[in-house]
Amino acid sequence: MAVIGAGIAGIAVAARLAVAGRAVTVFEAGPTFGGKMHQFALPGGYRFDAGPSLFTLPQLVDDIFRLAGRTPSDYFRYERLDPITNYFFADGTRLHAWADAAKFAAEVEQKLGTPATEVTKFLKRAGRAYDATAGTFLHKSLHKARTYFSPETLRAVAALPQLGLLGTMHQRHESAFGADPRLVQLFDRYATYNGSDPYQAPATLSMIPHLEHGIGAFYPESGIYAIAESLVKLATEFGVKFRYNEPVEEIITAEKRVTGLRTALDVYDFGRVVSNMDVVPTYRRLLPHQPAPERTLSQPRSSSALIFYWGITREFPELDVHNIFFSADYKAEFDAIFQQKTVADDVTVYVNITSKKTPTDAPPGHENWFVMVNVPHDQGQDWAALTHQTRAAVLRKLRQALGTDIAPLIATEKVWTPPGIAADTSSFGGALYGSSSNNALAAFLRHPNFSGRLEGLYFCGGSVHPGGGIPLCLLSAKIVSSLINEE
């Protein structure tokens, strides 16, 4: 069978299927694996992970090695982060998000004034919500009838009203922490974990903080790229063939089933094909003669990112691996992204510095800064102008928060814009997570992990169920491999 795309979900599904004894070939348009999870170097000795930077639910990676009868730590190692994130608010307040929930709650009480008991209560409720729903809504297909007749699903649905998860994320956080807009803003930011707007996204997403404070945030030894690298090693050991620089041009079908695929080099016979490519270009480019699910493909897209990769010529001890510099008006920032399709004048800035954990990622005394701003997906905006405007806003915010002019410290630079993300990763419009989760039914409107029209066609990755981000992409691979093995 074939897998189209060597992103993290494509690699994971190939490994799972190979461990189950299937012959798998992965076709990748680019020169190497990883998709958004690739790595690169800039002059002067700076290494960067290109895309994802936060790592949660590491057991989803470990599970694949255990499935293969291997010891995970022989391939892949990681450590729990503490603190998880350093927060810098617009009013000058600084806060450490400690891994331990009780310690984090105490920090909030000390710095923001909200009682620690309120924070602890909120996080416990998030944990109960996650435990009640994840097994159904993340680990199973939402497009198979048997999912809805299981006792587990009935319990999950029954639990939602009791957990106070009706309304939007922002409403949920405001009801819990309305006395301090800074804490509301802190928890609202978790909507960005799947490219959504907290003022529209359902309150069910308020369970996301549990992943960090209930389970933990982690740093892979050598960086995020090590996740893909370790799984490719495992897949190769089980016979998976990777064909790089060979983009698929068409998925071949006959009589409502998949029969193979075509590249510029050859035509291949395959009875099953898994597409790890974004679902929109999969239909538009690879299945041009098949009717497309237009309602699904027209769902509003998630946000994208404008990323500056900077080699910085000094160290900042007040920063850690993950750092957030908040805007003064979060509502205006999200309105700019999702309503006006542009970038606000005042933006929230995320700075990831892997050299804090992997010193070889930058020269001695230097740091590698991955600087990201959430922006709309590409719809033809003037990205040259927006990049120039946003870069200036980022430097202004960092200078205000750190008391240092960052511009003279930038020794080398690379920029990744939404059009660049779209071109490099086949993500429609550069949307990082496929469709957004800006309505209560968004989870059910995502494309399923299989085709209802073509037998033998499956889908994994961030544009389909259960969504984007490393954990959900790994879960999509698990769902697809289960569907195929059950057949």
- Could you list the beta-strand ranges (E) of 321-366: 322-325, 349-352
> pLDDT tens-digit profile of 465-479?
999 999 999 999 999
Percent of residues, the chain, with pLDDT higher than 70: 96
pLDDT confidence band for 141 (50 / 70 / 90):
confident
Write down the pLDDT at residue 486: 87
CB 88 within 8 A of CB 326: yes
- Euclidean distance between CA atoms 360 and 221, whole angstroms: 12
Residues 42-67 have a mean pLDDT of: 97
Domain ranges across the chain: 2-37+222-296+440-486, 105-212
In this model, does residue 98 exceed pLDDT 90? Answer: yes
Q: Is 238 helix (H, G, I), strand (E, B) or coil?
A: coil
Phi, psi of 292, deg, nearest 5: -95, 150
Phi, psi of 293, deg, nearest 5: -75, 80
Token duo for residue 72: 């995970």
CB 279 within 8 A of CB 297: yes
Write down the pLDDT at residue 178: 87
> How many other C-beta atoms are found inside a 10 Å radius of the C-beta of residue 317?
6
> pLDDT tens-digit profile of 408-421?
999 999 999 999 99
Q: What is the mean pLDDT of the chain?
A: 94
pLDDT confidence band for 444 (50 / 70 / 90):
confident
More confident site: 269 or 146: 269
Write down the pLDDT at residue 140: 72
Of 135-144, 299-308, 437-446, which has the strongest mean pLDDT? 299-308
Write down the pLDDT at residue 328: 98
Residues 41-54 have a mean pLDDT of: 96
> How many other C-beta atoms are found inside a 10 Å radius of the C-beta of residue 197?
26
CB 35 within 8 A of CB 7: yes
> pLDDT tens-digit profile of 295-337?
999 999 999 999 999 999 999 999 999 999 999 999 999 999 9
457-459 and 273-275 strand pairing: parallel
> pLDDT tens-digit profile of 101-128?
999 999 999 999 999 999 999 999 999 9
Return the DSSP state at 299: S
For residue 49, give Cα distances in angstroms to 22, 42, 259, 435: 31, 11, 37, 24
In this model, does residue 163 exceed pLDDT 70? Answer: no
In 3D space, the residue among 8, 17, 48, 26 whose CA is nearest the CA of residue 362 turns out to be 48
Write down the pLDDT at residue 57: 96
- Euclidean distance between CA atoms 108 and 126, whole angstroms: 17
Highest CATH level, class, for 2-37+222-296+440-486: alpha beta
Token duo for residue 171: 């409403």
Identify residue 336 by its one-letter amino acid code: A
pLDDT confidence band for 445 (50 / 70 / 90):
confident
- Which residues are paired to 248 by β-bridges? 263
- Euclidean distance between CA atoms 23 and 420, whole angstroms: 33
Can you tell me which residue has the tokens 């399709």? 341
Write down the pLDDT at residue 75: 97
For residue 225, give Cα distances in angstroms to 70, 84, 120: 20, 19, 34
Least confident of 39-43, 93-97, 141-145: 141-145
CB 44 within 8 A of CB 411: yes
- Which residues are paired to 263 by β-bridges? 248
pLDDT confidence band for 88 (50 / 70 / 90):
very high
Q: Is 336 helix (H, G, I), strand (E, B) or coil?
A: helix
Question: Mind giving me the DSSP string for 105-119?
Answer: HHHHHHHH---HHHH
> pLDDT tens-digit profile of 328-384?
999 999 999 999 999 999 999 999 999 999 999 999 999 999 999 999 999 999 999
Phi, psi of 280, deg, nearest 5: -65, -55
Identify residue 419 by its one-letter amino acid code: P
Instruction: Write down the pTM of the prediction.
Output: 0.95
- Euclidean distance between CA atoms 413 and 310, whole angstroms: 5
Write down the pLDDT at residue 135: 77
In this model, does residue 148 exceed pLDDT 70? Answer: no
The helix (H) or strand (E) run that includes residue 132 is: helix 116-137
Identify residue 270 by its one-letter amino acid code: F
Return the DSSP state at 377: P
Q: Is 334 helix (H, G, I), strand (E, B) or coil?
A: helix
> pLDDT tens-digit profile of 197-231?
999 999 989 999 999 999 999 999 999 999 999 99
- Euclidean distance between CA atoms 6 and 269, whole angstroms: 19
pLDDT confidence band for 160 (50 / 70 / 90):
low
